[in-house]
């Protein structure tokens, strides 16, 4: 059963505490001190009521205690701490939502390589050619030469810094072959994921070429990938 004397003492102390979120912890701590002192005095032979009064007296003046505790639990700093914690929680929730949404989209994103019918494939070459462009990793995974004379280049890319996730890669560079042909016309697709799966198609690619060359050179950012074309499963 709550003691009126103890509760009155605690209420008087807490009335001086301006930051409301600290009052519960302060009340709990003071109440523990009082109960410890009550146990001490009852062990010395005092009855419960006397032990409680002595314990409260030992604590000191409630107002003075409250004023000192209020200085330690500064309301201005307390509110900054509280608001900062809320902002951190919201920031974490926002990032988990954004990254989670991108992960789900990436997991169920259609791989463009599935859009080419097997009956239309002349040959396919599986690759694992990685290059780095700024904070972005580009991995060339496959090339497929089809019966329409198209060289389809499949690649994936992702950013090593999460805050840049979602930026699309504009171009993979100039497409040429070992015969000196340059393939200016083409088409691409994909992008905007944590790990984007994309395709770049060079039209009218030479049947006689035995090396595909991807050359990127822009603002002193360079890479070059050479892919031998004589390897692969011929489906003709």
Output the tens digit of pLDDT for each of the chain's 236 residues: 567 888 888 888 888 887 777 788 888 888 888 889 888 899 989 998 898 898 888 888 888 888 887 777 665 555 555 566 667 666 667 555 555 545 444 444 567 888 889 999 999 999 999 999 888 899 999 999 999 999 999 999 888 875 555 456 678 899 999 999 999 765 555 555 567 888 899 999 999 999 999 999 988 889 999 999 964 444 44
Residues 41 and 79 in one domain: yes
| 233 belongs to a structural domain | no
Tell me phi and psi for residue 167, to 5 degrees: -80, 125
Same domain, 78 and 124: no
Nearest residue to 230 via CA among 141, 120, 123, 151:
123
183 in a domain, yes or no? yes
Quick one: pLDDT at residue 232? 44
Residues 90, 170: one domain?
no
The answer on 117 and 97 residing in a single domain is no
Same-domain check for residues 117 and 221: yes
- Residue by residue, DSSP assigns 82-106 as HHHHHHHHHHHHHHHHHHHHHHHHH
pTM over 0.85: no
Tell whether 235 is covered by a domain.
no
pLDDT at 233: 47
Angle at Cα 229 formed by Cα 125 and Cα 178, nearest 5°? 145
CA–CA distance, 133 with 214 (Å, rounded to integer): 14
* 166 in a structural domain: yes
Identify whether residues 195 and 220 lie together within a single domain.
yes
Number of domains in the chain: 2
The range of the structural domain enclosing residue 44 comes to 4-104
User: Is residue 16 assigned to a domain?
Assistant: yes
Query: What's residue 184's pLDDT?
Result: 78
């Amino acid at each position: 059963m709550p003691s009126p004397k103890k509760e009155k003492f605690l209420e008087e102390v807490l009335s001086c505490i301006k930051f409301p979120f600290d009052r519960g912890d302060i009340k709990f701590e003071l109440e523990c001190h009082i109960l410890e002192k009550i146990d001490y005095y009852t062990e010395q032979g005092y009855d419960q009521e006397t032990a409680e009064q002595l314990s409260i007296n030992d604590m000191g003046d409630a107002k003075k205690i409250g004023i000192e505790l209020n200085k330690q639990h500064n309301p201005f700093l307390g509110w900054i701490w509280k608001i900062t914690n809320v902002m951190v929680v919201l920031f974490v929730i926002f990032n988990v939502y954004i990254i989670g949404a991108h992960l789900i989209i990436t997991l169920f994103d259609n791989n463009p390589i599935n859009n080419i019918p097997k009956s239309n494939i002349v040959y396919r070459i599986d690759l694992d050619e990685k290059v780095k462009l700024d904070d972005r990793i580009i991995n060339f995974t496959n090339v497929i030469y089809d019966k329409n004379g198209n060289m389809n280049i499949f690649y994936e890319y992702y950013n090593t810094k999460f805050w840049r996730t979602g930026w699309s890669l504009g171009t993979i560079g100039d497409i040429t072959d070992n015969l000196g042909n340059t393939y200016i016309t083409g088409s691409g697709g994909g992008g905007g994921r944590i790990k984007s799966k994309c395709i770049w198609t060079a039209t009218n690619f030479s049947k006689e070429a035995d090396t595909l060359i991807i050359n990127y050179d822009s603002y002193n950012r360079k890479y070059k990938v050479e892919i031998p074309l004589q390897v692969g499963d011929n489906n003709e």
